[in-house]
Structure formats: C-alpha cells, structure tokens
Amino acid sequence: MNLETNRLLFRHYTDQDFPFLLSLLTNPDVVRFIGRGKPRNEQEGIDFLQWIYDTYRVAEYIGLMVVIDKERNIPIGHAGLVPQTINGRKEIEVGYWIARKYWGNGYATEAATALVEFVRERFRYNKLIALIQPGNTASIQVAKNAGMYFGEKVNLNGQEVHIYQILQSEKRGTK
C-alpha cells in the first residue's frame, strides 16, 4: 500500500525495523495506554512483529506500518488499519503510535486522518474505530481531529476502553 502525506510516508515493517519497533514497545510513555500499559521484552517484541506480519496477510492495506518523516527519512512511529473483534463484531481500527521524542508535532493526527481518508476514498467499510483507554486525552484529541466521535464504552480483555468511531457515510468533522 502506498500512502503518504505532506510530511509522512507509510510502509510495511521488515525485520530490519525490529530495533525501532522494540524502542516503541519498551518505552513506558509510549505504551502507557496500549494494551496492559506495560513495556514489553524482546521476545514479546518478536511476537508483536510476527502479529504485524500476520495482519499483512489479511489484505495489503491491513496492518501497522512504519511511519517515516519524509524530510529526515527516519521512522517516527507506526500507524495502520488493524482488524479487531469487539463483542463478537469484526471492526477495523485506526491505530497510531508515535515515538515519545516526536510527540506534539501533529504526526498522530496527520497519520490517523490519512488513514481515514484512504479508507473513505477506496473502500466500503460501515465504520472505522479507534480503541482508546480512558485518560488518554492526547489520543482522544487525535481521534476527534480525524473526524471520529465517542461511540461506546466496552470491556476488552479486562480493560475499559472507549470506542471512537466514524461512519463511512459521514463527512469528516461533521459529528
């Protein structure tokens, strides 16, 4: 999948990206609101990369991708369309993680908005979601900036999670 914005380029992970992925997974600030909220070890990082590779087999446009700052040609995070099952429903999540040192530059909003627009222009999903833990105000703002709004609270693997969503028929930012 070729996806890019003015500042960002998205590409599939490769084995050579593992040190960067591990830097995200081991940073307590980055993972604070992801899953169980705790850094992962190297083996868990290997398993996570394998999970990413497995999602690529679902469809070319599915899975987390490395997000590259085009001007500096460096990875700054990852984002992508992630298959989820919520209360028995199959959903597509807009996921985004930015490395701590690049927070506050609008990269997450730019990535999330690009993914929402990519799906809107090319595919027919009823809705896209973002799974956000309560208290993650930065991620809530990113979802809102990408046109999403609060949908419901769910319990996911013993964790309360808020679902932000955008319906395919809605224009960005109208709800």
Domain count, the chain: 1
Asked whether the predicted pLDDT for residue 152 surpasses 90, the reply is yes
Q: With respect to residue 32, please indicate whether it lies within any of the assigned structural domains.
A: yes
Angle between helices 137-145 and 107-122 in degrees, nearest 10: 40
Largest CA distance in the chain: 43
Q: With respect to residue 172, please indicate whether it lies within any of the assigned structural domains.
A: no
Q: pLDDT digit string (tens) for 33-89?
A: 998 899 999 999 999 999 999 999 998 899 999 999 999 999 999 999 999 999 999
CATH code: domain of residue 16: 3.40.630.30
Q: With respect to residue 173, please indicate whether it lies within any of the assigned structural domains.
A: no
Q: With respect to residue 174, please indicate whether it lies within any of the assigned structural domains.
A: no
Q: With respect to residue 19, please indicate whether it lies within any of the assigned structural domains.
A: yes
**pLDDT, average across residues 132-139:** 95
**pLDDT, average across residues 83-97:** 94
Q: With respect to residue 7, please indicate whether it lies within any of the assigned structural domains.
A: yes
CB-based contact 147:112 (threshold 8 Å): no
Tokens 């990875």 belong to 75
Q: What is the domain range of residue 138?
A: 3-167
Asked whether the predicted pLDDT for residue 174 surpasses 50, the reply is no
